Amino acid sequence: MRRDVPTLVARAREGDARSVARLITLVENGDPALPEVAATLAPYAGRAQVVGLTGSPGVGKSTTTNELVKALRATGRRVGVLAVDPSSPFTGGAILGDRVRMQEHTLDPGVYIRSMSSRGQLGGLSAATPQAVRVLEGAGCEVILVETVGVGQAEVEIATLADTTLVLLAPGMGDAIQAVKAGVLEIADVFVINKADRPGADATYRDIQGMLGLGERLAGDWRPQVVRATAVRGEGIDDVVAAIEKHRAWLESTGKLTARRERRAAVEVEAIALGALRARIGDLKHGTALSTLATAVAAGELDPYAAAEELVKGL
């Protein structure tokens, strides 16, 4: 693959989908050109609105994403989509099937859709997702929708990446006890009760409102919106967009948008630094330092904390 990074970025800025695809592939593969890619894209950071969509498998994340793309394109905005699919813990493969539900946007030059494998990463995203967001920002996308894998109660990584996080729910997926459990429900800026035409939608709405009523908030704090939708019919999507825009306005008026993006940058830098450290520790496995320390620990001559300290000193 040709790695003329400035040319790829320039073409991506002009809307060339192949150049965008190549840049994201460099990111996903951890290519040696990645630092140059990041440096070239840095001037374009922070220009896009990043919206995360998360929820359990089967709540309609991909269908909702598709309808949001349609609504946003109707306003003339350029949209990027990153859809993360789980990878098999046995084969490492991934179907990457989320974009199948977004076929109608394939020929729209104002939409770029990329499916990504989680590659074993926990938290609901791929390790490459933050840098892929930067690529789409550099390509001129005004709104970036990031769809996570189907999550449980603890996969909350999307909250560190998105300006606004949508948590999708569906009727019949839990009672009031589930609604007050800690975890993914706590990261929502907007709750979307999808499949609202099904029995139990009103009960789910009441449960979420009840959960929100239990929380303590200071004056001026954001109270998550609760919106009903039936994405497969396109119903309620305008209300979802309105809730996203309302949250965006609140972020800007309170200065929280800058704070969230600084937090995102801190997490990103920390992840890159930890990745570099892991790589260096991996290199140690091919030397004698780690095996020597392991032998001492196994023989009871050294405790594991002291051994780890010695290992860190050697980095």
Q: What is the mean pLDDT of residues 270-280?
A: 84
pLDDT of 188-211, one tens digit each? 999 999 999 999 999 999 989 988
65 or 95: which carries more pLDDT confidence?
65
Neighbours of 5 (CB within 10 A): 21
pLDDT level of residue 94 (50, 70, 90 thresholds): low
> At 157, is the secondary structure helix, strand, or coil?
coil
Q: Is the pLDDT of residue 93 over 70?
A: no
Amino acid at 237: I
Q: What is the mean pLDDT of residues 96-114?
A: 81
pLDDT, residue 185, reads 78
Q: Which region among 1-5, 61-65, 68-72, 160-164 has the lowest average model confidence (pLDDT)?
A: 1-5
pLDDT, residue 119, reads 75
238 or 211: which carries more pLDDT confidence?
238
Q: Which residues, 6 or more positions from 243, have their beta carbon under 8 angstroms from its beta carbon?
A: 190, 225, 227
Q: Is the pLDDT of residue 282 over 80?
A: no
Q: What is the pTM of this model?
A: 0.87
Q: Are 288 and 294 in contact (CB under 8 A)?
A: no
218 or 251: which carries more pLDDT confidence?
251
DSSP E strands in 217-269: the ranges are 225-228
Q: If you average pLDDT over each of 122-131, 172-181, 257-266, which comes out highest?
A: 257-266
pLDDT, residue 295, reads 92
Q: If you average pLDDT over each of 65-74, 118-127, 205-214, which comes out highest?
A: 65-74
pLDDT, residue 176, reads 46
pLDDT level of residue 154 (50, 70, 90 thresholds): low
Domain locations in the chain as residue ranges: 46-254, 268-314
Q: Is the pLDDT of residue 242 over 70?
A: yes
DSSP code, position 104: G
pLDDT of 32-58, one tens digit each? 899 999 999 999 988 999 999 998 888
- Specify the CATH architecture of the domain 46-254: 3-Layer(aba) Sandwich (3.40)
Cα dihedral angle (155, 156, 160, 166), rounded to 10 degrees?
Answer: 120
Sign of CA dihedral 64, 148, 37, 100: negative
Q: Is the pLDDT of residue 299 over 60?
A: yes
Give me the half-sphere count of Cα atoms (radius 13 Å) on the Cβ side of residue 34: 14
pLDDT, residue 1, reads 45
Q: Please state, rounded to an integer, the average pLDDT across all residues of the chain.
A: 87
Q: What is the mean pLDDT of residues 242-254?
A: 97
173 or 8: which carries more pLDDT confidence?
8
Q: Is the pLDDT of residue 177 over 60?
A: no
